[in-house]
Amino acid sequence: MTTSVTHDGRPASGLVTKDITPRIATEIRADKQTLLSGAHAGRIRELLEQRGVLVFPQIGFTDDEQVAFTQTLGTIAREVSGEEVYNVTLDPKVSQTADYLKGSLYWHIDGTMSEVPILASLLSSKVAPEAGGDTEFCNTYAAYENLPDREKREIESLRVMHSAWNTLFYYDPEPRIEMLRRMMAIGDQELPLVWTHRSGRKSLILGATARHIIDMDFKKSAELLVQLRDWATQPQFVYRHKWTVGDLVIWDNTGTMHRATPYDAKSGRLLHRTKLQGEEPFA
C-alpha cells in the first residue's frame, strides 16, 4: 500500500490507495469524514479517470452520506423520476422499474441514448445475494490502447447505431410487439466506435445497445462488434467485484463497460445508486 501524494508533493493524509489489477480498479481506504470533507475530490476524480473503477471496501455510507460524497466529486444527476438515490434490484416488488435492469446483465455503457452520458455511477451494497450478483467492469481505454495499430486504423472512422431496443432481445428473444415498440420509443443514436476524449485519450464505445455499424455489410458488422466486445472483456481488462454489504464502488462510465453477473431476482440483492452528471459529449 502507498499513501498517495498531492500535486504539490504533500502526502494526502488519510487516503490509502492500492491498485487491484494492473489495468483496472483501485481500492481506496479512508475514513468517512476524510472522504466527505471533499479534500481529496480532485485526486479521486483523477484516479477514477486513470483506473476506471474505484472500490471503497465497507465504507458503510448512509444514503445521505452517499449523496454528499457524490456531490464532492461533481454535479449529482437525478433519475428521470426525480430521486437522487435509486434502488438497483431485479425484484419488481421492490422497484417499479426493475424490468429495465434486465439489460444490466449484459456488457453496457449507461446513457448511450444521451448526447452527454453520465460521467460516473456510485453503487453501494445494502443487501448482498447469497450467490451470483457480482458486478464486472472492463476498461475500454485500455482495450483500445492495446489493439494492434492496424486494427486501430481500420476502426478509427467507423460509426455505430446504438438502440435501446437492441438490448431487449438479449433477455426477451420473442417480445410482444407492444414491448418492442415501447423500447423503440426510447430512441437510437449514432455514435463513433472510437471516442476521442478532450484529454486526447481514446476509448471504445460498445455494449448491448450497439446495433450495427453504419454502412457495413450486416454479417461483417455483427462479427466486428462481437470481436471487439470479446477483445475488450478479456480478463486483463476486467475487474469483478464481489459485494460485501457496505462496499461502495464508483465507475467511470465514459471509459468502462459494466454488467451484473446473473442473480435471482428474489435473492434480496439491493444496491443504492447515485450518479454524476456527464461533463463531455460522445465525440
Site residues (CB under 6 A) for ligand OGA? 88, 104, 110, 121, 135, 258, 260, 271, 273
- Least distance from C-beta 121 to ligand OGA, angstroms? 6
Question: And the C-alpha cell for 225?
Answer: 462488434
Indicate which of Mn ion, ligand OGA, none lies near residue 109 (CB less than 5 to 8 Å, by partner kind).
none
Shortest Å distance, C-beta 140 to Mn ion: 14
* Among ligand OGA, Mn ion, none, residue 225 binds (CB under 5-8 Å by kind): none
CA–CA separation, 183 and 193 (whole Å): 23
The binder of 256, among Mn ion, ligand OGA, none, by C-beta within 5 to 8 A per type, is none
Helical packing angle, 63-73 and 41-51, nearest 10°: 80
Binding site partner of 271, from Mn ion, ligand OGA, none, Cβ cut-off 5-8 A by kind: ligand OGA
Do the beta carbons of residue 119 and residue 279 sit within 8 Å?
Answer: yes
Nearest to 239 by CA among 141, 134, 131, 129: 134
Shortest separation between residue 51's beta carbon and ligand OGA, angstroms: 18
Angle at 239 between CA 138 and CA 87, to 5 degrees: 85
Closer to ligand OGA by Cβ: residue 232 or 271? 271
Shortest distance in whole angstroms from residue 211 CB to ligand OGA: 19
Residue 84 or 110 having the CB closest to ligand OGA: 110
Contact of residue 273 among ligand OGA, Mn ion, none (CB under 5-8 Å per partner type): ligand OGA
Q: Residues with Cβ < 8 Å from 104, sequence gap 6 or more? A: 88, 259, 260
Which of 124, 165, 168, 139 shows the shortest CA–CA distance to 257? Answer: 139
Residues 98-127 that bind Mn ion (CB under 5 A): 104, 110
Closest C-alpha among 102, 115, 129, 67 to residue 270: 129
Residues at the site binding Mn ion, with contacts judged by CB under 5 A? 104, 110
